[in-house]
Amino acid sequence: MVETTHVVRQIREAAIPLAGGRASDLDPLLQRIGDARIVLLGDASHGTHEFYDARAAITKRLIALKGFRAVAIEADWPDTSCVDRWVRAGSADVGEAEDALDAFGRFPGWMWRTVEVSRFLRWLRLHNDIAGTAARQVGVYGLDLFSFQGAIGASPPGPARAGDGSDLGRLHVEQAARLVRNAARYRRSLAGARASSWNLRDRHMAETVEALAAHLESAGQEARIVVWAHNSHVGDSRATEMSRTGEVNLGHLLRERWGPDVVAVGLTTHHGVVTAAREWYAAPEQRVLGPALAGSWEAIFHATGLSRFLLVLTGTERRIEGLEEERLERAVGVVYFPETERASHYFLARLGWQFDAVIHLDETSGTEPLESEGRSGMAAGQ
């Protein structure tokens, strides 16, 4: 194994600082993305303010500079359809982004009902209003399969309605059928091995991305899609311990299908505060996120002494020794168990094969759920 100090030194030399907060700081990432048609933007936790803002900043540039036409998020299709309808409505709908986000009622709705997401949606609605025609507007779509009952009889967003013969109408009819079928399989799989249910879920996500690509192409547009999902979904599972248990994920499946047209970006942090629940179905809290475990990728990033940086891992002649070796990587979902940190929130990963680029934000803070009406209104975590 390459000595940790050597890996740290190489990363420090290759890292591109992001401390300036300027849009141009992202230029090297945009250059790496190039003409890729699918960009996967991950996060190491579902409740980190800086992750949502970073994904929003990257997505805005992908839309404005590279013509991306769809944002697909790790959320349920029927719920996200309400958001899609709102960002396309322009002045015809006087409601607010917060009203559209009310559709996320199933736990953990607070994962998307955040101040950070509402800000991005307001920007996207303004963009669509200026774009005018439907062919130039950007849609928002859900990748997940939990709210399958909501898909039955659900109306598509915008002026189109199911069965009216429009491209958007057909997409919603087809997705409703796909959702009901795959969700039924998923529910049956929960009684078996974890790999089976995980694989069904991520295969459904991959099918949804492919359906979106086909929809865009049928409308005469390039299939350019940005995905927001957890690192464990967007990073290639073949580069992690998931592969040893037969698990596949969205990043693996899309790379198999699209090859170099897919670019995966991981977002990591070392310490700070995270919005998360203490247990499933519990209310979100601002919880202390302890320092990353020794020997982890996050600990190595912290050792560089850089507070925020971009590391491009592929598509460059510069080779960083040691990135192909397995090290721990942090993964916090909507529930955080600091008392079982290693077992609950870390897995082994070969970073150089898992992602095409990584953005590391050393100290981060929790998202602001809309329900809180300010951070002071949230429960205090440990």
pLDDT tens track for 234-272: 999 999 999 999 999 999 999 999 999 999 999 999 999
The residue ranges of DSSP E strands in 220-339, in sequence order, are 225-228, 262-268, 271-276, 285-289, 308-312, 327-330
What is the reported pLDDT for 94?
59
| Residue with tokens 């020997």, as numbered in its chain | 295
Contacts of 2-8 with C-beta under 8 Å, sequence gap 24+, read 2/321, 2/322, 2/325, 4/295, 4/300, 4/303, 6/321, 6/322, 7/300, 7/320, 7/321, 7/322, 7/323, 8/300, 8/303, 8/304
Sorted by sequence, the CB contacts under 8 Å of residue 272 that are 6+ apart come out as 48, 289, 363, 364, 365
Contact (Cβ atoms closer than 8 angstroms) between residue 367 and residue 114: yes
Do residues 361 and 330 lie in contact, with contact meaning Cβ atoms separated by under 8 Å? no
Within the chain, which residues score under 50 in pLDDT? 151-160, 162-165, 373-382
pLDDT confidence of residue 373: 41
- Residue-range domain boundaries for the chain: 4-374
pLDDT of residue 30: 97
Fold of 4-374: EreA/ChaN-like  fold (3.40.1660)
What does the pLDDT read at residue 155? 44
Rounded to whole angstroms, the Cα distance separating 266 from 313 reads 11
* Sole residue written with tokens 């080779």: 319
pLDDT of residue 159: 41
Q: What is the spatial distance between Cα 169 and Cα 49, in angstroms, rounded to a whole number?
A: 34
Query: What's the confidence (pLDDT) of residue 223?
Result: 92
How many Å apart are CA 116 and CA 120, to the nearest integer?
A: 7
- What predicted TM-score, i.e. pTM, was given to this entire model? 0.92
